[in-house]
């Protein structure tokens, strides 16, 4: 809902009204010759001379008699995706633009174009002033598009990016808790935090073990929202605010990006914001184990054996496989309430990136219907996920001689699968569960997706939830 006091605002690059916006013609390449013929002679010559037709440019501003921009034409290859024109605003002069040939698009396409326009102009400005050009080129939202959804998706994406981009000195367990409190307060949700030794008293031994060596105590953040008469949906996010690898320390290269290891937590906060903004008919719980995987004299060690909340013993094969440990206790707690759907998001394994690359989060799911629907929505939303198997044949790789299970199989083959199988040990088989192993980071900028922290799969997850819980 777009209300005045709402935390959900339309991004500054989109406007709802404008006096005399500059017409923007978005043409599929084969529409161009006809359109070109309809322009005046001066414009035709300018277009011909400029290289647009030769394909060396994808857009061109056309001056009017006084030299000011009169209209803009941009060409795209096939069906427009949200990203196809997302680089346009960065390259256009300041002003308000309006899509002149709206009728060529469905309202869903127009909505996606608006979203891409906004998402591409994100800048992380907490520590450095953004360049002046930012937010200069604005787009008039065509009438009939769902501006509330655009605002919600953009605002949640910006939140996820900001949380991930903020370095661990300001986004440690304390900072992540503050961010969760800010969201809960703004959304009128309730929030509870169990921290430090209380984690042992309340039986979250794995969260405590992973986080106890850090200066900022480990904690479990627990947010609740919604009418108790609705079905429960629980989101769990890996909140490792920095992952040194612990005593099985990472290499410098491997550690460099590890401020993003709370990316799963950022995703569930962003998704919660979208759910609440749309007032989906569900009862929401968000669980975030927030820790820093640090090194100190009291750090947990390789070969330690810890009894998990679930009651089973876990041998630590590698302290760098910490995400699955903190998630294990949180997932045990989530299942105790028998949710209608349980989703976890985590930057869990490097192996998932080897399997699918950086842009495709891996989806693991114990329910084929949910997996198929989510996969389908992810393609519609241009927010892709790819399913991987919970292949039981690899379960023996997690066997331990001294404990019920080992957290890190030797060798590492099928590492994303064995990590998912580890989590599955803590899931009640009756609970429908989706696990998303994601990069949460753009290693290079792409249209609409600046380099740095990124929301991956969040809009797809929201669509799934909207399908299932959007109506009473
Ligand atoms: N946070 C990492 C996983 C990661 C690394 C995600 C790089 C995205 C990019 C995780 O805690 C980790 O270190 N996992 C290990 C597990 C191994 C020790 C069994 C991995 O994937 O190598
Ligand atoms: Zn790790
Ligand atoms: Zn990690």
Q: Is 230 helix (H, G, I), strand (E, B) or coil?
A: coil
Which is the closest atom of ligand 1 to the Cα of 407?
A: 19
Read off the pLDDT of residues 106-122 as tens digits, 9 standing for 90 and up. 999 999 999 999 999 99
Alpha helices in 239-340 (DSSP H): 252-255, 263-277, 323-335
How remote is the CA of residue 307 from the centroid of ligand 3, in Å?
Answer: 20
CB contact at 8 A, 309 and 204: yes
Distance (Å, whole) CA 261 – CA 284 = 23
Whether 229 sits among the annotated catalytic residues: the reply is no
CB contact at 8 A, 144 and 150: no
Token pair 């394994």: residue = 349
Read off the pLDDT of residues 58-69 as tens digits, 9 standing for 90 and up. 899 999 989 889
Q: Which two tokens stand for residue 29?
A: 């390449």
What is the distance, to the nearest Å, from the Cα of residue 90 to the centroid of all Cα atoms in its chain? 23
Whether 324 sits among the annotated catalytic residues: the reply is yes
Distance (Å, whole) CA 451 – CA 171 = 19
Read off the pLDDT of residues 317-367 as tens digits, 9 standing for 90 and up. 999 999 999 999 999 999 999 999 999 999 999 999 999 999 999 999 999
Q: Which two tokens stand for residue 94?
A: 């300041």
- Residue among 443, 362, 462, 379 nearest 154 (CA): 462
Q: What count of other Cβ atoms lies within 10 Å of the Cβ of residue 322?
A: 31
Q: Which two tokens stand for residue 64?
A: 């009017």
How remote is the CA of residue 110 from the centroid of ligand 2, in Å?
Answer: 41
* Type and span of the H or E element at 229: none
Is residue 4 scored above 60 in pLDDT? no
Residue 373: burial class (beta carbons within 10 Å; 0-12, 13-18, 19+): middle
Distance (Å, whole) CA 409 – CA 406 = 7
CB contact at 8 A, 96 and 16: no
pTM of the model: 0.97
Q: What count of other Cβ atoms lies within 10 Å of the Cβ of residue 431?
A: 19
Read off φ and ψ for residue 191, nearest 5 degrees: -140, 140
CA nearest ligand 1 atom 16, residue:
321
- Of 181, 250, 376, 395, catalytic: 250
Read off the pLDDT of residues 365-405 as tens digits, 9 standing for 90 and up. 999 999 999 999 999 999 999 999 999 999 999 999 999 99
């Amino acid at each position: 809902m777009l209300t005045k006091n709402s935390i959900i605002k339309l991004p500054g690059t989109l406007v709802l009204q404008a006096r005399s916006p500059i017409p923007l013609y978005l043409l599929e390449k084969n529409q161009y010759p006809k359109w070109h013929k309809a322009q005046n002679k001066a414009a035709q010559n300018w277009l011909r001379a400029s290289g647009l037709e030769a394909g060396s440019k994808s857009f061109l501003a056309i001056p009017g008699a006084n030299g000011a921009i009169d209209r803009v034409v941009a060409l795209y290859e096939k069906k427009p995706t949200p990203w196809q024109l997302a680089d346009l605003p960065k390259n256009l002069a300041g002003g308000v633009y309006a899509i002149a040939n709206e009728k060529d698009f469905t309202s869903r396409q127009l909505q996606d174009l608006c979203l891409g326009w906004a998402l591409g102009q994100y800048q992380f400005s907490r520590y450095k002033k953004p360049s002046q050009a930012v937010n200069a080129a604005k787009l008039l939202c065509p009438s009939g598009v769902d501006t509330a959804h655009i605002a919600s998706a953009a605002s949640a994406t910006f939140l996820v990016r900001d949380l991930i981009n903020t370095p661990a000195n300001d986004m440690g367990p304390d900072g992540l808790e503050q961010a969760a409190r800010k969201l809960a307060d703004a959304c009128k949700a309730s929030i509870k935090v169990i921290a430090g030794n209380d984690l042992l008293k309340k039986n979250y031994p794995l969260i405590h073990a992973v986080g106890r060596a850090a200066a900022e105590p480990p904690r479990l953040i627990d947010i609740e929202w919604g009418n108790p008469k609705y079905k429960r949906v629980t989101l769990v996010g890996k909140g490792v605010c920095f992952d040194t690898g612990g005593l099985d320390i990472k290499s410098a290269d491997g550690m460099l990006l590890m401020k993003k290891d709370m990316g799963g937590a950022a995703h569930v906060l962003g998704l919660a914001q979208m759910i609440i903004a749309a007032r989906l008919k569900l009862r929401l719980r968000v669980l975030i184990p927030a820790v820093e995987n640090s090194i100190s004299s009291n750090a947990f060690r390789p070969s330690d054996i810890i009894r998990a909340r679930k009651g089973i013993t876990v041998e630590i094969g590698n302290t760098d496989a910490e995400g699955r440990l903190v998630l294990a206790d949180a997932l045990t707690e989530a299942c105790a309430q028998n949710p209608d759907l349980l989703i976890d998001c985590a930057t869990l394994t490097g192996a998932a990136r080897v399997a699918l690359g950086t842009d495709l989060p891996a989806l693991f799911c114990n329910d084929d219907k949910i997996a198929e629907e989510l996969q389908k929505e992810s393609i519609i939303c241009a927010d892709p996920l790819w399913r991987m198997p919970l292949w039981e044949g690899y379960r023996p790789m997690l066997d331990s001689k001294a404990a019920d299970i080992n957290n890190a199989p030797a060798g590492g083959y099928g590492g994303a699968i064995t990590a998912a199988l580890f989590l599955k040990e803590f899931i009640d088989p009756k609970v429908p569960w989706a696990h998303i192993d994601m990069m949460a980071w753009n290693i290079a900028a792409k249209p609409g997706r600046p380099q740095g922290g990124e929301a991956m799969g969040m809009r797809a997850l929201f669509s799934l939830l909207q399908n299932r819980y959007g109506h009473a």
